[in-house]
Structure formats: C-alpha cells, structure tokens
Amino acid sequence: MSATLPIWYRKRYRKDMAMNLRLPEDLAAGLRALSAETGRSQQDLAREALEAYVRQRLDSRLGPWLREHAQPPTGPFVAIPAGDRIRVPAGLDSVALVREQRGGA
C-alpha cells in the first residue's frame, strides 16, 4: 500500500496517524471549555479520551479475573541474571513451585 503513495506523502506522514473528526456542537463546546479550563489542547484531550476508550474496550474483552487482578508494572523491566534465576524442577509448573515455596500442599 505505502509503495503506491507519492514519496513526499510517505516522508511527511510516516509517524502518527492523522484524522479529521466532526463533533456535534454541544460536544465541541464542552471540549473547548475543558481545554480553556485545563490549559491543555483540544487535540490532547481528545487523544486522551480516545486512548481511554480504546483501552477500556480492549480490557472488556479480557476475562473478569484478569481484569480484576491485572496491574500496571511498578517499574521498567529488569532482566534477572542467569545465575539468580530459579530453575523449575521437572514435573512442576510455576504454580506448583510457588505453592511449594510457600509451604502449601
């Protein structure tokens, strides 16, 4: 698809997707008021609302248990050095290993 677009277009619009959005007047007025109140751009507010909506819709497809227990990471991913990793003994899975480590049956 992108090979058929002119080179100037591909260079100018290669990053984020741009779109036009037509809003009903009452929604546009509310967006303008919120922008003035918060000092944030209307585009930023609309982007934030759309991100939240898409995230919520994607999350709603997850199972109830996962939605309830999912938590954002507390920090960046840090690889555990090979020498510090716990080896799971043959015949055990990670759930059984945790149960064993906690002294459960």
Answer whether residue 18 shows pLDDT above 80: no
Q: Are 67 and 59 in contact (CB under 8 A)?
A: yes
Indicate the DSSP class of residue 62: S
Higher pLDDT, 57 or 40: 40
Scanning the chain, the segments in alpha helix (DSSP H) are: 7-12, 25-38, 42-60, 64-69, 94-101
74-89 average pLDDT score = 81
Encode pLDDT of 8-17 as tens digits.
Answer: 766 666 666 7
Per-residue tokens: 35:
């922008």
81-95 average pLDDT score = 81
